[in-house]
Structure 1
Amino acid sequence: MFLHVQRLINEIVPDEPDPAAANALQEGLGGQFGEMRTMMQYLFQSFNFRGATAKPYRDLLHGIGTEEISHVELIATTIARLTDGSPAYTGAATKPVDEPGKGGKTPLASALSVGNIHHYLVGAQGALPVDAAGNPWSGSYVYNSGNLVLDLLYNLMLESTGRLQKCRIYEMTDNKTARSTLAYLIVRDQAHENAYAKALESLGIDWGRTLPIPKTDAERFPEVKTLLDQGLHLKQYTFSLDNLSEAGKIFRGSAPASVADGNLQTEQMPDGFPMDIAVERPEEFAPGLDADLLELVQRTAELELDDADHAADKVTTK
C-alpha cells in the first residue's frame, strides 16, 4: 500500500523555459536507464521476492523502488516546467490566441524546431513516457531474474548507467531548473550505488576502489557538491510508515564508494518541498475548464460533501 504526500522530493529551481533541455531530460525519465525503468524494476523485484530470511534485501528494494516513484514525479514536473510557457504568446491580449503574435510568430511556432514536438502536439507542454528520441517506454526494459545476486548486480549497473547519462545531460545545459533536478538525481544515484554495492558486499563481493561508476568527480558540479556536503549520497529512505523495514540491516557501516568518506544510514523519508500547479495554457486548449463547467464541478463537489455529512450523521445517531 502506498501513500502520497503532496511535496516534491527535491526543490526545482526556477529559470527560463528550455524545451531542448526538457527533451534531453526525457532520456532520464523514459529511456532504457531512466527513472521509469528503475521504479518498475525495483518494485517488481520486491513484489516477486521470495525467502523470508532475506527480508532485509526485499525491504531495501522496496524502499528504493518507492523513492523512484518520487523521482519520476520530480523529473516529469521538471520537464513540464521547462516546456511551460515556451514559447509564450506575445500577441495582444484582446486578440485570439491563434493569431500571430509579436514578430509574426504563432504561439507554438518554436515547437516545430526546438526540443520534442510531441511535448506540444501531444503532451500540452508536459512530460511524456518516452526517451529523448521519442521512443515509448517499454516494460521489456525491466529485469527480474529471481536470483538475488544477479538482480543486485543488474541494479548496480542500472544506477551507474543512469548516473553516467545524467552527468552527460548536466554538461549539455546551463539551465538552473534542469541542473537542480539533475544534481539531485546524480547524488541519489550514487546513494543507490552504495545501497546495491553494500548488499553485494554482504554476499561476499569486495569492491575495492571500483566505485563510484562513473568516476566523474561529480563534486566539481556546484549543485552536486552542495548535496554531497549534506551527506545525501549516504542516506537511504525506507518510506515505511509502520517502521517494519529491515533495510537498515544492509544499508549501514562505511560506504563502498571511494568518493567521500562516511557511514551509511537509513531514514523514513525526506521532508520534501512544496508543490504547486502550473498555470493554464490557453494556446494548448488545456485544461479547458470554462466558467460554466467550473461552476458545475463546484456544485457537484458541494453535493457530494453534503451527502457524506448526512451519511456520517446517520452513523453517529445509531
Structure 2
Amino acid sequence: MFFHVQRMLNEIVPDEPDPAAANALQEGLGGQFGEMRTMMQYLFQSFNFRGPTAKPFRDLLYGVGTEEIGHVELIASTIAQLVDGSPRYQGNPTSLDEPGAGGETPLSLALSGGNIHHWLVGAQGALPVDAQGDPWTGKYVYDSGNLPLNLLYNLMLESTGRLQKCRLYEMTANKTARSTIAYLIVRDQAHENAYAKALEALGVEWNKLLPIPKTNAERFPEVATLLEQGLQSKQYTFSLDQLSEAGRVFQGESPSKDGTTLSTEQAPVGVPFPGIAVERPEEFGPGLDPELMELVQATAEMEMRETAAPLWGPAGS
C-alpha cells in the first residue's frame, strides 16, 4: 500500500511565471531520464523482485521508487506554478494573472512562449510529456531481472538525470524553477550513492566502469545549502511498519567521497502543501459552477473530519 501525506517534499519558492522554464522542466518530468521514468523503473523492479535473501536490496528499490512518486508531484506542481503564475507575482498584469486585462485575449500568451499544450490541453498544468511535447512511454522502463544489471542501469539513470538537471539549472534564473531543480540535483546524488553502495555490497567495482559525472553542482547556492544539510547522504524507506531492511545496504562511507556517512530515515518532514490552485475562468476550469464549488467544499470538510481517524488500520482498531 502507498500513503499520501499532504506535504510537499521541498518548498517551491515563489517567483514570476515563466512558461519557457516550465517547458524545459517537462524534460525532467516526462523525458527519457525524468522523474516519471525513475519512479516507474524502480517500482517495477521492486514489484518483480525475486530472492528473499536479497530483501535489503528490494527494500532499497522500494524506498527510492516511492520517493520518486513525491518527485513527480514536486516537479509537476512546479511546472503548473511556472505556467499559472505564483501567488506573489508582482510583474505587469498579463493574461496569466488577470485574464482579459486591457482587452487582451485571455489565452494569447499561449501563442508566444513555452508549450502550447500547457494551455490548450493541460489548462495551465503539467503534462506527462518531455520538453518536445512527446508523450512519456513505458518503453523507457528497464528491468532485466538481474540485480547487478538493474543496479548498474539505475546508477547510470540517476547520473544522467542529475547531469540534465544541472543543465536545467543553468538555463533559468527563475527562483521557482531553481528551488525544485536544486533539490532534485541533491536527491539524485543520494540515489547515486544508494545504487553505488548496493553495487559495492555485491562486490561490483562500479567506479572503474561508470564514474559519477563531475557536475560540480555544489557551486549552485541552493544546492550547496542542501549539501550542508547532508541531504545527499540520507535515504528514505517510506516503510510505515518499519520493516524495511534498506539500511543494511545504505550505510557506511558515502560513495561520493565527501566525508559523509550514509543513513536511512522513514521519511522527510516535508513542507506545508501549497494548496489548490486558483480558478482559471479562461480555461473553463473549476469554479465556474457554484454547485460544483459547494461539492468541493463539502468534500473538504469531510476530509477534515476524517483526519482524526488512525493513520494505520481501520477506524476504532
Question: What TM-score, normalized by structure 1, do the two folds share?
Answer: 0.88
Offset from partner CA, 1:177-215 (integer Å, 9 cap, x none): 000000000000000000000000011123558886220
Q: Is the 8 A contact 2:286 2:292 kept in 1?
A: no
**1:264 & 1:158 partners in 2: Cα distance?**
20
Q: Whose Rg is larger?
A: 1
Offset from partner CA, 1:89-121 (integer Å, 9 cap, x none): 389x8xxx5xx532x532211211200000000
Gaps of 5+ in 2: 87-92, 305-317
Report the residue type matching 1:173 in the other structure: T
Report the residue type matching 1:5 in the other structure: V
The equivalent of 2:55 in structure 1 is: 55
The equivalent of 1:315 in structure 2 is: none
**2:299 & 2:218 partners in 1: Cα distance?**
53
Q: 1:261 aligns with which of 259, 264, 280?
A: 259
CA change 1:209–1:176 in 2 (3 A) is farther
Residue 294 (str. 1) matches residue 293 (str. 2): yes
**2:53 & 2:130 partners in 1: Cα distance?**
38
Q: Is the 8 A contact 1:129 1:136 kept in 2?
A: yes
Report the residue type matching 2:181 in the other structure: L
Question: What TM-score, normalized by structure 2, do the two folds share?
Answer: 0.88
Gaps of 5+ in 1: 306-318
The equivalent of 1:238 in structure 2 is: 237
The equivalent of 1:84 in structure 2 is: 84
CA change 1:242–1:284 in 2 (3 A) is same
CA change 1:174–1:301 in 2 (3 A) is closer
CA change 1:265–1:123 in 2 (3 A) is same
What SS does the corresponding residue of 1:185 show, helix, strand or coil? helix
Residue 68 (str. 1) matches residue 68 (str. 2): yes
The equivalent of 1:122 in structure 2 is: 121
Query: 1:289 deviation in Å?
Result: 4.1
What SS does the corresponding residue of 2:235 show, helix, strand or coil? strand
Pairing 1:1-318 to 2, within 5 Å after superposition: 1-85=1-85, 88-89=94-95, 101-102=101-102, 105-207=104-206, 213-258=212-257, 260-275=258-273, 276-295=275-294
What SS does the corresponding residue of 1:3 show, helix, strand or coil? coil
Query: 1:261 deviation in Å?
Result: 1.5
Q: Is the 8 A contact 1:26 1:79 kept in 2?
A: yes
**1:171 & 1:300 partners in 2: Cα distance?**
42
Q: Is the 8 A contact 1:211 1:257 kept in 2?
A: no
CA change 1:13–1:302 in 2 (3 A) is closer
CA change 1:166–1:281 in 2 (3 A) is same
**What fraction of aligned residue pairs are identical, expressed as a percent?**
76
What SS does the corresponding residue of 2:56 show, helix, strand or coil? helix
Q: Is the 8 A contact 1:209 1:257 kept in 2?
A: no
